[in-house]
Chain A
Amino acid sequence: MKRSFDFVIKFANVNGSGSASANLLFAKSLFRMGLGVVPKNIFPSNIQGLPTWYEVRVTQAGRTARRDGVDIMVAMNAQTYSQDIAEITAGGYLMYDSSLPRPFSRKDITILGMPIARMCAEVYERPRERQLFKNVVYVGALTALLDMDFDVVKQAVYDRFDGKDHLIGPNIKALEMGREYALKNFDCPLPIRVKPGKGDKDRIMVTGNEAAALGCVYAGATVAAWYPITPSTSLAEAFERHAKRLRVDKDGKRQVAVIQAEDELAAIGMVIGAGWNGVRAFTSTSGPGISLMSEFMGLAYFAEVPLVLFDVQRGGPSTGMPTRTQQSDITTCAYASHGDTKQVLLFPADPKECFDLTVEAFDLAERLQTPVIVMSDLDIGMNEWVTKPLEWDDARAHDRGKVMDAEMLDRVEYFGRYWDVDGDGIPYRTLPGTHPSKGAFFTRGSSHDNFATYTEDGEVNAENLDRLTRKFATAANFMPKPVIRKSGRSSKLGIINFGSTEPAVREACELLAREGYKLNTMRLRAFPFGKQVTRFADQHERIFVVEQNRDAQMRSLLMTEAGIPGEKLVPVLNYDGMPLTAEWVKNQIEAVIETDKSVAAAMQLSMRAM
C-alpha cells in the first residue's frame, strides 16, 4: 500500500473516562517531533457518559486545517462503533478493544484488535486506574504502528507529570505495554505513518483562550468579571491562574480582581464600572451571554466607556450547540444594543493572534473610549493550535487614550466630557477623584450635551450621534489591517474570510490553484472596515465570502457598511458546527465557478489578464 504521511486519526471515547489527557499526550508528542498536528476536540455538552471524539490530522509542518476522512479510528466506545466504523476511509484502519472480540462487516479496512481492558486488568489494581490507563495503552500501541519517536513520547509524560512523580511510572508502563503488544502482534509500522519533520521548531501549541488570557495580562487588565459558559470559561480561568501568579505586589497582595459574577449582566456592569474608573477591565462570554449584555453594551457605547469583551462564539440560535463552533454572532455584536449602536469588532484567526489582538483591543478601547469585542470562537478558543510563539516588545507602550489629569484640568478654562476638541470624534475624559473642583461630570445613558448634562433637545442629541459616527470613522483608521494574499495579481476572483476559517481557506487556495483557479484572498481582522476592504472589492469581479453561519452575516455587513454590491459577494456558508476543511471550501468554490456563468465570466477575465 502507498505510504501516507498526511492522515487523520480519530479517537472515539466516552466522556469523563480520562481520554483527554492521553489524546493530548499523543498530539503533543507529534508536535514535538516537528510535525503539523491539528487536534480537534469534538465533545458533548455533558460531564460524563456521552460519546466524545478527538480528531488529529497529522501533516506537514505549517498546516493547521482539518482534513476530511478518517484513516485510523481508535474506537474505544462500544456505543458508537457502527457510526465510527462507517467513517473510516477505504484502506484505513480500525483499532478497538478486543477484550470482547467482535465481528466487523467492513472488508475494505484493516482491523487491529488489542485486548486493552484485559491487559489493564492484569496490571492495575484500582478500577479507576484500569479505566484511565486503557487510554495510555492505545497511545503506546500507536507509537509503534505510526513509527513515532518513543523517547519524545516518554519525555512528554515526564513533563506532563512533573511534580507528580508517582504518576510517571504507571503511565510509562501503560505506554510500553501497548507498544510491545503492537510490535509483537501487528505489522509495524503501518504504511500510514509519521515522517519526522525537519519543520519549524520554533512553534508552540496552545489554545486561543489561554493566549487571549495572557494578552489580558500583558495588556495590564486588572479587573475581570465573568459568568461561566462554554466555550469562554477557560479564558477567564486562565486569566485568573496567570494573574494570581504574576500580579503580586511587595506586600504579597494581588494587583488583580477576578469576580465570578451572578450573571452576564452583572459581569459587564462590573467591567463598565471599572473601565469608567480608569482600569483596564474585560469580560468573556458566548452567544447567550452576549444577548444578556446587550443593554449594557449600548450604555457603554453611548456613555463612551472603554471595555473589552470576548465573544467565544458557539453554535446558535438560543442555547444551540454549546460545544460546537460557529461565527454566527457577527450581526448581533456589530450592532449590540438598541438604538443606533455600533460596536468595534476584532477577528483573531489563531491563538497567536488572540494574544496580539487582545493587547490591541485594550489600546483601542481606551483610545476610542468604547467597547471592543474580540470575536473568537470555540475552535480557536478551546482547541490546541500549533502557532508561532507569543511575543512581547518591552518597548511597546500601552495607549491609555485621552484622559485629563489634575494638571491638565488646571490649564483649561472648562471641561466638557463630550466636547470634540480635536475634531476626530474622540472627546476627553476624566476619572473620578482627580480634581477638587474641576472635571466632574455625570455619566449617563440618557441623551446628553457636550457637558454630559441631560438634554431633550433633539438637535443636540443628533449632533452627539453624528459625533459618534465621526468617532467610528476615526476608529476605522486605527483598526488592524486585513491580510491580503494575491495568488494571481490580476485575478478577478477573490475570497473574503475571517477568524478560524483561515487555515482551511488558505489550504483550499492551494488546492484550487492546482486546478488552475487562482484566487486572491483578504482576511478581515476588524470592523469598522477600512479603505483596504473597499479597494479589494473594487479590484475583483466576484468574491466568495466564507463564513460559518446560515445567514451570511459578514456578507451583509460588507454590503451595508462597506457598500459592496451584493451581486459581487458569493456566500460560502457552513454551519454544521465543525471547523472547516480545505476540501469543503475548495468544493464549494469550484462548484460555483463551474456552474455560475457570472463567476465563470470573472474567471475568464482573470485568465485573459494573466
Chain B
Amino acid sequence: MTYMKKPSVRHPDLPKNELGLTRRDYEGLVSTLCAGCGHDSISAAIIEACFELDLPAHRLAKLSGIGCSSKTPTYFLNRSHGFNSVHGRMPSIATGANLANRDLIYLGVSGDGDTASIGLGQFCHAVRRRINMVYIVENNGTYGLTKGQFSATNDKVSQSKKGEANLFEAFDLCTLAIQLGAGFVGRGFSGDKGQLVPLIKAALRYNGFAFLDIISPCVTFNDHEASTKSYGYVRAHNEAMDRLDFVPKLQEITAQYEEGETTSVPMHDGSMMRLHKLDKDYDPRDADNALAILRKRYERGQVVTGLLYVDDDEADLHELLNTTKEPMNAVPMSELCPGSGELEKINKDFR
C-alpha cells in the first residue's frame, strides 16, 4: 500500500538536529515489506545515521536495483531524489550519476541477488573504479521478492525453508570487496542497531567506495532453524571485531578506551572515526589480515562484523580521471561548446 502517505503530525517535542530537522524529516513512505523484515531495520538505521549527521537530505541521492531490499529507498529520506533502476544495474547508474555531480552523496541499496548474481560484474567494476559512494547490500541469502530461491551468498550448509540442500559455496562479499580494492569495508547486522548506525555514519562520511554487507534476515523465506542468515544464527555467531564511534567535526572525543586498543581514522570532512578493537588479531588497515580473519572465522561458522578494512587515503574516480572540481552538471554550455572559430580550425585538418 505504497500510496498511503504517513500523517505528518508533528510532535512539538521531537528532538531536532543542527539543521532544525526531526527524524520525521528523514523518513519515507510506509514500508510494504513483511513485518519483521531485516530490511526495515536497516532503513531505520539509515534514517538515524542521516539525522545524527545533520545531513541535508536533498544533497543525497538514493539508488537501487530490484528486489525487496531495492524497494527500501522509498521508505527513507523522502526529501532525496531516488532511482530504483533495473535488476543488478544500480552500480552503473551510480557511476554515471556520480560523474555528473560529484558534490552529492550517493547511497546505493542492493540485495544479495541484485549484487552477487545478476549484478556481480557491475558491482566489481564499481569497486574497481573507486566510485565515491556508500554501497549497502541487504544480505538475506535469498531472493525475497521472487519468493525464496537461494542466492549466491547463501552458505552451503544453509538449507532452504522446505529443507532443500544448497549445492554451492557462498560468495563472501566483504572478501570480494577487499580484494577488489574497496577503501572501506564493513559488515553489520540488521538486528544490532548500536553497531550499525555508526558504521553507516562512517561510510557516509568516507571519501571513496564504502561497502557495507548487512545481514538482514528474510523472515518469510530464510529465517528458519537450518538457515545461517536467520536472526537466531547471526545473534549466536556474531563476532564483532570492533566498536565504532563516529565523532563529528569539532566535537571533543569523550569515550575512554584502553591504551593501545583504540585507533582513530580521520575522515575527509574533518570528522573522526574512533575504532575500539574487540579482537586482538584484528588490524583494520591491513587488508591481508582482514581477509585471513574473514576466512578463518567463516570456517568456524562465525559471522565477523564491524569495520573490517579501511584505507584512509584512497583516490576516487574523479581524482583518477582528473575531472573538474565543479559538479559537471554545473559547467555552463558556454564553457563546454568550443565555438565556430575552433571548428574552422578543425575543418582545416580535414582538408
Contact = CB atoms under 8 A, between A and B. Distances in A.
Interface stretch (A100-108, A385-393, A461-469, A498-506): A385-393
B290 interface: no
Contacts of B96: 223, 225, 269-277, 281
Interface size class of A (residues with CB under 8 A): 35 or more
A437 B99 contact: no
A265 B97 contact: no
B117 to A, nearest CB: 14
B328 A257 contact: yes
B339 A394 contact: yes
Given A223-B96, A269-B85, A214 B346 contact: yes
Interface string B11-29: 0000000000000000001
B275 interface: no
A255 B97 contact: no
A257 B323 contact: yes
B238 to A, nearest CB: 33
Contacts of B29: 453
Contacts of A170: none
Contacts of A249: 324, 326, 331, 335
Identify which of B338, B342, B344 gathers the most chain A CB atoms within 10 Å of its CB.
Answer: B338
B95 interface: yes
A453 B329 CA distance: 26
Interface stretch (A66-74, A439-447, A486-494, A598-606): A439-447
Nearest to A32: B351
Nearest to A431: B329
Interface in B253-289: none
A454 B74 contact: yes
Interface string B79-109: 1111111100101111111111101100000
A513 B92 CA distance: 54
Given A295-B86, A434-B58, A270 B103 contact: no
B72 to A, nearest CB: 11
Contacts of B104: 277, 432-433
Interface in B39-97: 56-59, 61, 63, 73-74, 78-86, 89, 91-97
A43 to B, nearest CB: 21
B2 interface: yes
Interface string B293-333: 00000000000000000000000000001111110110101
Interface in B185-234: none
Contact of A253 (B86, B323, B351): B323
Contacts of A210: 350
A255 B336 contact: yes
Contacts of A94: none
A268 B122 CA distance: 12
A220 B6 CA distance: 42
Q: How large is the interface on B (under 10, 10 to 19, 20 to 34, 35 or more residues)?
A: 35 or more
Contact of B93 (A222, A254, A272, A442): A272
Given A220-B333, A222-B328, A276 B322 contact: no
Given A392-B339, A433-B61, A279 B56 contact: no
Interface string A238-261: 000010001101010111110101
A173 interface: no
A217 interface: yes
Interface string A534-559: 00000000000000000000000000
A441 B81 CA distance: 5
Contacts of A219: 337
Contact of A433 (B3, B86, B101): B101
Contacts of B98: 273
B343 interface: yes
Given A247-B336, A295-B86, A432-B61, A254 B321 contact: yes
Given A255-B336, A270-B99, A281-B96, A299 B85 contact: yes
Interface in B125-166: 125, 129
Nearest to A441: B81
Interface string A366-401: 000000000000000000000001111110011000
A276 B89 contact: no
* B74, B324, B339, B340 pick with most chain A CB within 10 angstroms: B324
A273 B95 contact: yes
A218 B58 contact: no
B121 interface: yes
Contacts of A269: 85, 89, 91-93, 95-96, 122
B251 interface: no
B74 to A, nearest CB: 6
A440 B81 contact: yes
B92 A274 contact: no
A433 B103 contact: yes
A242 B101 CA distance: 22
Contacts of B89: 265-266, 269, 296
B325 to A, nearest CB: 7
Contacts of B103: 433
Contacts of B122: 262, 265-266, 269
A426 interface: no
A436 B78 CA distance: 11
B324 A278 contact: no
Nearest to A273: B96
Contacts of B321: 254, 257
Contact of A432 (B81, B95, B333): B81
Contacts of B63: 273
A206 interface: yes
Nearest to B329: A278
Given A299-B86, A445-B84, A432 B324 contact: no
A359 to B, nearest CB: 9
Given A440-B79, A440-B80, A394 B340 contact: yes
Nearest to B77: A440
Report the 4 A-B pairs with minimum CB-CB distance, sorted nearest first: A269-B92, A273-B96, A270-B96, A432-B81
Interface of B: 2-3, 29, 56-59, 61, 63, 73-74, 78-86, 89, 91-101, 103-104, 121-122, 124-125, 129, 321-326, 328-329, 331, 333, 335-340, 342-344, 346-347, 350-351
13 contacts: A204-B350, A206-B350, A246-B342, A256-B323, A262-B122, A266-B89, A270-B93, A276-B83, A391-B340, A432-B81, A434-B58, A444-B83, A453-B29
Given A273-B96, A275-B100, A277-B96, 4 more contacts: A223-B328, A277-B97, A279-B99, A279-B100
Interface of A: 32, 203-206, 210, 214, 217-220, 222-223, 225, 242, 246-247, 249, 251, 253-257, 259, 261-263, 265-279, 281, 295-296, 299, 389-394, 397-398, 430-437, 440-446, 449, 453-455
